[in-house]
Chains A and B, each alone.
Chain A
Amino acid sequence: MAEPLPLEVRDVVKSFGSRRALEGVTLDVRAGEILGLLGPNGAGKTTVVRSVVGRAQPESGSLRVFGQAPIHPTAIDSRGWVPQEIALYSLLTPRENLWTFGRYQGLVAAALEAAIDRSLEWAGLADRAKDRTSNLSGGMKRRLNMAAGTIHRPRLLLLDEPTVGVDPQSRERIYAMIGELKAQGVSLLYTTHYMEEAERLCDRIAIIDHGQIIASGTREELVHSTLGNRETITIDADAPVGPALREKLTRLGATVDGTAVRTLAEDPPRMIRELLEAFHAEKTPIRDLTLKRGSLEEVFLSLTGRDLRE
């Protein structure tokens, strides 16, 4: 019999009062992969994660962690959770925090000590192990938050926006930590609203909006299924786009927002030529022109009509 998937979520519905948070979410995390759950704030990412860790009870649908219900001891022991907020004891040191969460995970004695040392090393906090947690930098706290969620070496890790509010340098360290986990064969569900992160880290991506998974697959699959061969052309005008130019651009299928012009093109060279001719004819100078192969941003925009960053 094949080993059950690390995570199977089927048709999960969850409401908070009259507000529907999840409208029948279905997704899988396969062994050893990083599944990115990408969506804007309020889309339902955290509710999915909280349902998987047993902190939210869906009205319907099913959740299975390695084939078991979320509150089954096997499921509890094999999953780890790094919540979005920094859920640590700020008056304790990193070592004491890890000791506390290690004990809650059932670790004792030498195994606990070894796990603390390993986690401090992994998070790059060995030299700050005895400082007060409240005195650590934001990035360090984030890494300690991750270490606390993985001290028991889970086989499935749920990472809920682990890089929110983190500077670029610290972000790189967190990416490196995630890379190590992946190398160890840990399966991850990674929620984010940063497309770059999803593109860079995730093997597959599920896009969630208004409590529904609206598309899922590898980056290429998503781009291909949503955008086909079209590529994105963006032009930044050096002066406001006048009515005549706007009309011409709209006729070419481009959208105009202030000085920004954007369009998807099946035949980019021809479209670029036509756009440039229109600008030239209306004597409007151009500051910048970019051609981008299909991005997740375009995918999201195309699927929802909204920008992910909005």
Chain B
Amino acid sequence: MNLRHDRAAFVLSFVVPIVFFSIFAAIFGGAGRSTTRKITVAVVDEDQSDNSRRFVEALRAEGGLAVVTAPEIKSGKAAPFTAATAEAAVRAGDFPAALVIPKGFGAIPIRFGPEGQHPRLTLLSDPSDPVAPHVLGGLVQKVAMTAMPESMARGGMDEIDRWSGGLTPQQRARMEEVLAQIRQQRSIPSSAGSRASGGNSGSGLVDVDQRAVLGQKKKNPMIAFYAAGIGVMFLLFSAAGAGGALIEEAESGTLDRILSTRVSMTKLLAGKLVYLAWLAATQLLVMFVWGSMVFGLEMRGHWGGFLIMTVATALAASTFGLLLAAVSRSRMQLVALSNLSILAMSAVGGSMFPRFLMPEVIQKIGLVTINAWAIDGFQKVFWREEPISHLAPQVAVLIGVAILLFAAARRVARRWEAT
């Protein structure tokens, strides 16, 4: 009955499930399509041979990959990645994986025998994305087949030569003719070659060493992600719930009473914010300490970054709760509104599953959520073990969001001031 008189709450109770369903459909519904998620990889060509360049071009032509060979800068052209800078970029979370093509790769790129002495590719990976290195590894093998046919043929010929007791001069001349023909066919664009051999991915033609660039020593590498993801989501819920005290105060008349004293609305909201942020920070602390005690999350050496991220996240989540409470006209409205907004934010912001598994569009949308920035920051602290100064973007965004949301809450709360 109450719900019928509270129209906003009534409408929201229908809207929440529809919106939430739509978000999940958008995230998972398109997950099978190749267009949904492109894996961005850094590729380092130390060889700079014809073969290696063709190899890189062929990788570039793969629809599932976005190949980056030099860091992005605003003006001018940056120097190409080196093995070290590519590794740093993966470590920093800019790429889920990087491929290093070593010197001499172009000369003998393909292995035919068990003891082939040739340079090995290095695949650097960030284990927090379990999919990207596998996709990249598979495509490397596929591209090796399609981009360098004459290398493959020559490799095969050399192996036959070695294991068959030696080719006759006639056989060798015939082989060279075939190789010349293959070279001529190189004029065909590499993407066409890639298409022609689609599905024939093969494996083991190119030797690839895969190496995780971070997290090797961690007992439970994903625990920081889950602690941050789930932590932020519940922080938002509890901030919204605690912010609801404002609605109760308005209904009971205590708000009137408070505002008749020297306490202004700004002071009152600031006081509520301090309380909510304290509550939120304590919740995160308890969650991470629990994670360290039960799941082996390493707090040692991470306290500084953890505390900075905790304060920034707590402030952003608390102001969000305050704004929701200020906007809502009743507890019921608040519950419906917070369910809608927090579940949606948590879904696209990466609290429920990692953002890198989502389609690119959703990943971009996720950047408007508190969850995404908070999780990124905590990942930097616990997973990437980056220095505190690297938290600047996350902290700046979260604090900026907190300031904006507080200003919005203050503005909305004008309705409680003297009428």
Contacts and interface: CB of A to CB of B under 8 A. Distances in A.
A233 interface: no
Contact of B418 (A16, A54, A77): A54
Q: How large is the interface on B (under 10, 10 to 19, 20 to 34, 35 or more residues)?
A: 10 to 19
B252 interface: yes
B262 A81 contact: no
A87 B260 contact: no
B262 A101 contact: no
A89 B249 CA distance: 8
A61 to B, nearest CB: 15
Interface string A88-118: 1110000000000100111000000000000
Contact of A87 (B257, B262, B263, B419): B257
A149 B418 CA distance: 19
Contacts of A81: 257, 260
B263 A55 contact: no
A106 B260 contact: no
B293 to A, nearest CB: 32
A255 interface: no
B254 interface: yes
Contact of A77 (B254, B256, B258, B262): B262
A57 interface: yes
Contacts of A54: 259-260, 418
Contacts of B260: 53-55, 76, 81
Interface residues of A, number: 23
Given A54-B418, A55-B418, A56-B419, A87 B261 contact: no
Contacts of A86: 253
A198 interface: no
Q: Which of B259, B261, B419 has the most CB of A within 10 A?
A: B261
A67 interface: no
A83 interface: yes
B117 to A, nearest CB: 78
B254 A76 contact: no
A79 to B, nearest CB: 8
A88 B418 contact: no
A16 B419 CA distance: 9
A106 B419 contact: no
28 contacts: A16-B419, A53-B260, A54-B260, A55-B256, A55-B259, A55-B260, A55-B418, A57-B419, A73-B262, A76-B260, A76-B262, A81-B257, A83-B253, A85-B252, A85-B253, A87-B252, A87-B253, A87-B257, A88-B252, A88-B254, A89-B252, A89-B254, A104-B257, A104-B261, A105-B261, A105-B262, A106-B261, A148-B257
User: What 6 A-B pairs come out closest when comparing CB atoms?
Assistant: A87-B253, A53-B260, A85-B253, A104-B261, A87-B257, A57-B418
